[in-house]
Chains A and B, each alone.
Chain A
Amino acid sequence: MTDTVDHAYKQRLKKRYAAEKRFRFYGVAALVLTALFLAYLLVDIVSKGWPAFFEHRAVISVALDPAKLDAANVATSDFDTLVKESWRAQFPEITTRVERKQLSGLLSQAAADDLKARVVADPTLIGKTVQTQVLLSDDADLYLKGFGDEADAELMQRVQKAVPVSQHFAWRFFTNGDSREPELAGLQGALVGSLLTVAIALGLGLPLGIAAAIYLEQFAPKNRWTDIIEVNINNLAAVPSIIFGLLGLAMFLNVFGLPRSAPLVGGLVLALLVLPTVIIASRAAIRAVPPSIREAALGVGASHQQAVFQHVLPLAFPGILTGAILGLARTFGETAPLLMIGMVAFIADVPKGITDAATVLPVQIFLWSDLPELAFQSKTAAAIIVLVGTLLALNGVAIYLRNKFERRW
């Protein structure tokens, strides 16, 4: 009798252990799979995007002939022809019209602009022959980076033989606005646009959200109205973001007549979008403060408001901060609602204020990913690196601040 009981017991025990083992295996498998996906994604993006942070320049000598340049008016002088002629002069053997055109195509428009900037800064150069770096076009750049067959291979080999070509860090990727020329297209317009938009979104969303959370959690009477408000806030957090874009279009553009494509409107829409997130996170943080702290403050005669602002809020601060950073990350990465209010246009100028036309980083990625030029694929990946890097940095700051301010009680 005891034997059979023993046997059944052992069987059950074995089963239980097996079940636990299986569950652990599933867990590890899920983790490994996730890690693999993530690693693949990162490796793919970084390997595609990394080359876009660099550009190729050739060094040629240009004679700054005073006859061709107006010393009194350098800025309007024709550097284009000057640089083009100097470039062709490096290759005297190329004479056919087709080949000459191809050769010119290897030079970027920016080559002349860079030289012009140099001469404007130092007009004494006029009359001298200077060694200058000229930016190569995206086709030549891609060839030198080892992919792309837009540039003629035979011609490129001749270029490499005739002039020194070297690779440099592409600062203009961060200092230029958008451009149709891939080698000139930069992120500054999108970065400034993002900054302005996020600043407005958080400048409005955080104070409103936190104030609403404090009121709802600590002061509001518990009745049907506050219940309805609470349900609606939770529902708003789940509304697809494109709906907020439509709301922004209908309200801010059509009713209030605010400018299209402006960070002001983008920020207003995103403020509405993060409001529920901020309220929910802040309420949770406030609720997590033990009631004994509030009672202690009330017990020594603090008013309700003193108890809340001097004791409850400081303790809830790290949690509220986490909510704020979550909101920040969300506004920074949001795309869909901004499409609806026209922040999706091609905008070459860096916005100077909140009513200038602008775009934002994720929308810039969306725009570039749509372009046919091969070089823009790399630019897209590079912009993704910048976006993800910024988000990681923001999250890092959030975690640091939270740990710094977190207090035990």
Chain B
Amino acid sequence: MDKTSSALITPPAPRVLTGSTMRISARDVNIYYGEKHAIKHLSVNIPDKAVSAFIGPSGCGKSTFLRAVNRMNDTIPSCRITGEIKMDGKNIYDPEVDVVQLRSHVGMVFQKPNPFPKSIYENVAYGPRIHGLARSKTDLDGIVESSLKKAGLFEEVKDRLTHSGTGLSGGQQQRLCIARAIAVNPEVILMDEPCSALDPIATARIEELIDELRQNFCIIIVTHSMQQAARVSQLTAFFHLGNLVEYGDTDEMFTRPQDKRTQDYITGRFG
């Protein structure tokens, strides 16, 4: 029953995708905050070009694992991690891996929209500029425009690219953050409850966007809304008390969960 200790979970290929490869594979990952054991013996394969939703009650470790994928946890002094997380066959916790470079491959969108207090253009251009992705001003303009277009924001802001990014509405700000994340051409996009601060209409807009982005990226989204998980994801992972309980096809998961705890959670018996 308890399949926590290093049982590798590879989800069945979701019905909607064929021929997808595994983008991230974690092996026996343990994460500690000081004494607290936040992630316990997690092993999982996460496929490319699909949306994986992480669900589970608060404090179950889903955000912790998400932040381990782009080593955002490095900024927390008390945080320790063992095991390995491989991307394209390379352990991202290898001392040779440059964390700055890693983060240009793994974009992140945060819970609260956090645009820089700079112009809309600068918000998107910042990443490509520090990574030297644009050779000229026209190049950079092109990256900014295409990123904003991919984030579905270009039409709304094309006349005011020099205006401050903080002057946009909450939903627009979050799409600006998504544009900023995809401007550096990442392979993986991590989203930590990206819609929790937004109204239903802005949420719907982001969800549409996530569905479009799935064509090109491996997307992992942490969400507290099971409806959202059901709407946007092809795969769902259920976390409980630091354990990855179950990871599989979203439709399967919500109709025929394998584990009692998953069933209890999605039917609202706890959490």
Contact = CB atoms under 8 A, between A and B. Distances in A.
Contacts of A303: 100
A301 B106 CA distance: 9
Nearest to B70: A299
Given A292-B110, A299-B107, A301-B130, A409 B117 contact: yes
Contact of B115 (A294, A295, A296): A296
A336 to B, nearest CB: 41
Contact of B114 (A222, A293, A301, A408): A293
Interface string B105-120: 0011110101111000
Given A301-B127, A407-B117, A296 B77 contact: no
A241 B55 CA distance: 59
Contacts of B127: 300-301
Contacts of B110: 292, 295-296, 299
Contacts of B116: 293, 296-297, 311
Given A292-B112, A295-B72, A296-B177, A302 B117 contact: no
Interface residues of B, number: 28
Contacts of B72: 295, 298-299
Nearest to A311: B116
Contact of B117 (A295, A298, A315): A315
Contacts of B109: 299
Contacts of A298: 72, 75, 103
Contacts of B75: 294-295, 298
A299 B117 contact: no
Nearest to A306: B130
B166 A408 contact: yes
B187 to A, nearest CB: 13
B103 A301 contact: yes
Given A292-B110, A409-B117, A301 B104 contact: yes
Interface in B238-258: none
Interface string A378-409: 00000000000000000000000000000111
A298 to B, nearest CB: 7
B166 A409 contact: yes
Which of A221, A222, A292 is the most central at the interface, judged by chain B CB atoms within 10 Å of its CB?
A: A292
Contacts of A300: 103-104, 107, 126-127, 130, 180-181, 183-184
B149 interface: no
Contacts of B112: 292
B160 interface: no
A316 to B, nearest CB: 12
Contacts of A315: 117
A382 B39 CA distance: 71
A294 to B, nearest CB: 8
Given A221-B77, A296-B177, A409-B166, A301 B117 contact: no
Contacts of B70: 299
B131 interface: yes
A301 B100 contact: yes
Interface in B203-240: none
A222 B166 contact: no
A391 to B, nearest CB: 32
B9 to A, nearest CB: 27
B136 interface: no
Contacts of A299: 70, 72, 103, 107-110, 181
B181 A292 contact: no
Contacts of B177: 296
A215 to B, nearest CB: 15
Contacts of A292: 110, 112, 114
A408 B118 CA distance: 11
Contact of B130 (A293, A295, A302, A408): A302
Contacts of B102: 301
Interface string A131-163: 000000000000000000000000000000000
Most chain B CB inside 10 Å of its own CB: which residue of A222, A299, A303, A407: A299
B101 interface: yes
B118 to A, nearest CB: 9
Contacts of B100: 301-303
A294 B127 CA distance: 13
Interface string A212-249: 00000000011000000000000000000000000000
7 contacts: A222-B77, A297-B116, A300-B107, A300-B181, A301-B103, A301-B104, A315-B117
Interface of B: 70, 72, 75, 77, 100-104, 107-110, 112, 114-117, 126-127, 130-131, 166, 177, 180-181, 183-184
Interface of A: 221-222, 290, 292-303, 306, 310-311, 315, 407-409
Given A296-B177, A298-B103, A299-B72, 17 more contacts: A222-B77, A292-B110, A293-B117, A296-B110, A296-B114, A296-B115, A297-B126, A298-B75, A299-B70, A299-B103, A299-B107, A299-B108, A300-B183, A301-B104, A301-B130, A310-B126, A315-B117
Leading 9 A-B pairs by shortest Cβ distance: A300-B127, A301-B104, A292-B114, A299-B108, A301-B103, A296-B114, A409-B117, A407-B117, A303-B100
